[in-house]
Each structure stands twice: as C-alpha cells, then as structure tokens.
C-alpha cells in the first residue's frame, strides 16, 4: 500500500496554543468572558483557575504569529469544559463560552485561512467528564439511564466525587473526573465519528488525538481516518503517542504522532547533564542520560529508520508541550541548550511545533507551571525571538530543510554534523554541544557541492581536497551551531 500524507504538513511550522494562557482579547467582543473575575495574568498558574485567554485574543495576535513565520496552529482542547485545560469535555459541539463560543472559532478559522494558516483541534475521544450530559444522566438515574452502556460502569451506586468509596466506573488513569467511553458500543463509536466529521465540515484542518492508544476497539482509528479523509483528503491526523508508534503509522490510521522520540534525545544531547531530573522523571519520554554526538546520532538513525519516509515528513516534532516542562527550565536556565535544540528542531524532517512562549524565553517547570500566561513584551527574551524568526525563515526558504534527505556526516565528541539534500540543493548543519571550541574535518565525498555560505550561526569554514574527496574544515565556538548553504 502506498502511504499518503497531507503535503501541506511537510511545509508547516506549528505553534501550540493553550487557549486560556495565550492572549485575552483587548476588545469587548464576548459579554460572557469580558467582565468575569479572572486570576491575574502574570500569577503563577494553578491546577484550577482561569486567566481568561480566548480565541478572540488569538485572532488579535495572528500578525505576531505570521511575523514569526507560523503557518499552522494546534490548539489544546477548546470545547466546553469545567477545567482550564479543557480535557474534561462537557459538550463536543460547543466551544467553551470563556473562549468566545462557536462564533469566535468560526471567525478564527476564516481569518487563519485568509492568511493561509491551518488550524488543528484537539480531539479528546477516549474519555469525557462528569459534566458530560450522557454521563450526568447516569449519575441522576443510575441503572435506569439509557446511556449506561456508553461508559465502563462496574456496579452501582457510582461515587464520582467521594474518594472514600470505589468509583465503580473506569476513568482515564483512574481519575473519577474522566469517565472512559465504551468504544465497543456502536452508538459511542458513531457519536465520536460524527463529532470528527462535524468540525471538519465547518473548516478545521485536522485533529490531534489525545491518548489514542487507550482506544482498543479494533478498526476504530481506521474508520476515523476514512471518514475524516472523505471530507478533506488533506486533513492532518496526528496522535499523542510518546513511544514507538509503528502500530498506528501504517498508513491506515494517523499521518504522524507527537514525536517525543525526537524530543528526548535532542534535549539529552543539547542540555546534557544540565537536565533537572525533577522536571523529566515520571514522564513518558527520556531526555536523559546525557548523550554525546555519537549517542545522539545512533538515536536519530534508529528514529529515521523506524517509519516510512512519507510518515517521517509529517511527524509533529517538538521540544516541549503542555504535558512537559519547558526546555529552558529543564536545562536550568541555560539559553544555549534551547538555541541548539531549536536549531536541530527546525532542520529535522517532519513538521516543527513551537510551544507558545518558548520563542520569547518563557520558563515553566512541569505542569501546571508550564502553562503560564504569555509574557508581556517587556519580559521577552529578544535574542530568543530573533533566532526563532531566523531559523523558521530559513526553513521556509530552503525546501531541502523541509523534505530533503537527511544524511549524517560526522558525530565526533560533542560535534554533530549532517546534510539536508534535495535535488541540487544541499545544506550542512553543525552543532557543537561541548563547552570548548571544536575543530573537525568533515568528509564531503557524498555531497555534490561544497556548501560554504554561512546562513546561520558562527563558524570558520574551509574546503580542502584530500585524495579523491573534498573535506570541510569546520571550527565551531563552544555551545554553538551553524547552517551552511
């Protein structure tokens, strides 16, 4: 079977937005959310409590995102929910009123599409919430409810709030707040399929699927893909799978996954032994132990042979998300770790995703701290914003950085060098993650050209002939990287 993935994804740079924390509208557009007593925007986030960010605010920041080079947005859940992260869905057909309701989403879609920007929504289809109507009916009516078989009810009475009693139903991760759907029930299956179809028909560009590995019903995700792609063959379907995802990336289910198998090694190489273990333990990815260039190269080689190339090009690559600490905090405030990792992110096959605020140096330990309000401009790290802009612009300018072949040229000590090649275009990317200057000789015999123009970073370069092949003499300052074109 020939695997097909959406072409636009290969050329996208995503920006992940946690809607409650990115931007409050400066215009009184929504009477529901405009006058409510939200917690202070710059106060440290708590598990509960709202800061009042909304979709109107995102619309007002689209110029900023476009100027950064963003052409696709992934939103964490936006549907009605009694939680600031909205993974506890109350109504899959209503955008949360605090975010501006359905009206705000429709205006956002129109404005994004006018700018050739794509919009990806978060589909939380493994579980709902205690406030979800169908489950609430069971709470009110017990075994007389017609919806009992929609969930995994074990016995009655249910105890949705009383921790001293058994819940008597299955919740995701044993959480009472998140009753798990019974996907073996054809009515549940059809209900979820129709939600996916409904928002596709209204113009979204795809779905990011929350914990899809929890859905064990045979054929479920194959049917979901078929029905979504029937509406828009170019829809992007990406799953939240933190580990080896070959089971879901056979071309019949997802176009890609959140590529934490890239995240972990990249942090382990660039941040090394600076990693604050408290921020990464008990998470399903491993940015430790520290890696040298050879160790990193082996991890990347394994990753690039794990999936078909067509899938590699539509993986969602990231350095942080709402489920992890931010890299600047993982690395103990070391700014070079973030820049080097961002360089590797934006030159790697697949679509890069920037977690809101990372581009301006927003810190954040494990959640809820990693979900802070987007900082005021006076608090931005301008250097970080500038290199994010430069690297994103280079990715857009050079097709080889998006869909070109990836070839490792050198992994020596703490220096990692690779080429991206597409037809006549060749670029060389080099990273020195070490704390001392490095001089290396890179064999260029597999290259057609001798890239020597410094497109990014600082380095001294010289090409020399050695026998039958050319070699690149490369001098890199400590904790630095470069791109040659």
Query: What residues act catalytically?
Result: 210, 240
Nearest-angstrom CA–CA distance, 119 and 205: 5
Nearest-angstrom CA–CA distance, 323 and 313: 23
HSE-CB at 438 with a 13 A cutoff on CA atoms is 26
Question: Please, are residues 366 and 42 in contact by the beta-carbon 8 Å criterion?
Answer: no
Nearest-angstrom CA–CA distance, 375 and 397: 29
**What token pair was written down for 223?**
């049917």
DSSP state of 381: -
SS (H, E, C) 124-160: CCCECCCCCHHHHHHHHHHHHCCCHHHECECCCCCCC
**What token pair was written down for 158?**
């249910």
Backbone angles phi, psi at 404, to 5 degrees: -75, 155
Q: How deeply is 208 buried, as exposed, middle or buried, from its count of CB atoms within 10 A (0-12, 13-18, 19+)? A: buried
Rounded-to-10 torsion of CA 140, 142, 148, 153: 110
- Least Cα distance to 447 among 475, 417, 478 occurs for 417
SS (H, E, C) 414-430: CEEEEEEEECCEEEEEE
Nearest-angstrom CA–CA distance, 432 and 417: 9
The radius of gyration of the chain from alpha carbons, rounded to an integer in Å, stands at 23
Nearest-angstrom CA–CA distance, 434 and 338: 14
Nearest-angstrom CA–CA distance, 98 and 35: 11
Cβ-based neighbours of 232, under 8 Å, separated by 6 or more: 200, 205
Backbone angles phi, psi at 156, to 5 degrees: -115, 155
Task: Kindly report whether the peptide bond that precedes residue 143 is cis, defined as omega within 30 degrees of 0.
Answer: no
**What token pair was written down for 431?**
């990273």
Q: How deeply is 300 buried, as exposed, middle or buried, from its count of CB atoms within 10 A (0-12, 13-18, 19+)? A: buried
Q: In what order do the strands lie in the sheet with 480-484?
A: 405-412, 415-422, 425-432, 480-484, 454-457
Distance of CA 333 to the CA centre of its chain: 22
């Amino acid at each position: 079977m020939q695997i097909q993935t959406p072409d636009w994804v290969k050329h996208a740079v995503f920006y992940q937005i946690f809607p409650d924390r990115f931007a409050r509208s400066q215009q009184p557009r929504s009477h529901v959310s405009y006058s409510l007593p939200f917690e202070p925007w710059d106060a440290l986030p708590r598990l509960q409590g709202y800061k009042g960010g909304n979709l109107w605010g995102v619309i007002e920041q689209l110029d900023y995102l476009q100027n950064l080079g963003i052409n696709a947005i992934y939103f964490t859940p936006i549907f009605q929910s009694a939680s600031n992260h909205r993974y506890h869905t109350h109504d899959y057909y209503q955008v949360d009123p605090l975010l501006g309701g359905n009206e705000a989403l429709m205006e956002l879609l129109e404005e994004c599409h006018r700018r050739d920007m794509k919009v990806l929504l978060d589909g939380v289809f493994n579980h709902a919430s205690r406030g979800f109507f169908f489950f609430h009916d069971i709470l009110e009516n017990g075994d007389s409810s017609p919806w009992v078989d929609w969930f995994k009810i074990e016995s009655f009475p249910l105890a949705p709030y009383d921790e001293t009693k058994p819940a008597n139903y299955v919740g995701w991760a044993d959480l009472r707040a998140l009753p798990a759907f019974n996907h073996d029930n054809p009515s549940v299956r059809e209900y979820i399929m129709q939600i996916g179809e409904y928002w596709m028909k209204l113009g979204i560009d795809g779905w990011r699927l929350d914990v899809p590995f929890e859905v064990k019903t045979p054929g479920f995700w194959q049917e979901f893909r078929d029905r979504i792609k029937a509406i828009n063959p170019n829809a992007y379907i990406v799953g939240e799978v933190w580990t080896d995802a070959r089971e879901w990336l056979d071309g019949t289910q997802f176009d890609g996954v959140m590529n934490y198998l890239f995240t972990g090694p990249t942090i382990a190489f660039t941040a090394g032994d600076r990693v604050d273990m408290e921020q990464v333990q008990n998470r399903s990815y491993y940015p430790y132990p520290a890696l040298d260039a050879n160790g990193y190269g082996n991890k990347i080689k394994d990753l690039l042979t794990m999936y078909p190339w067509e899938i590699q090009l539509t993986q969602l690559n990231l350095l942080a998300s709402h489920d992890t600490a931010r890299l600047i905090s993982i690395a103990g405030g070391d700014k070079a770790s973030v820049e080097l990792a961002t360089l590797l992110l934006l030159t790697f096959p697949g679509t890069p995703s920037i977690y809101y605020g990372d581009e301006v140096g927003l810190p954040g330990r494990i959640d809820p701290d990693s979900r802070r309000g987007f900082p005021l401009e006076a608090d931005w790290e301008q250097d970080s914003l500038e290199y994010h802009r430069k690297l994103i612009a280079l990715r857009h300018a050079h097709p080889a950085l998006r869909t070109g072949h990836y070839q490792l040229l050198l992994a020596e000590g703490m220096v990692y060098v690779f080429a991206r090649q597409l037809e006549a275009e060749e670029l060389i990317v080099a990273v020195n993650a070490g704390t001392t200057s490095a001089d290396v000789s890179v064999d260029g015999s597999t290259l057609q050209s001798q890239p020597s123009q410094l497109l990014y970073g600082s380095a001294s370069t010289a090409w020399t002939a050695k026998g039958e092949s050319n070699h690149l003499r490369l001098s890199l300052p400590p904790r630095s990287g470069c791109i040659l074109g």
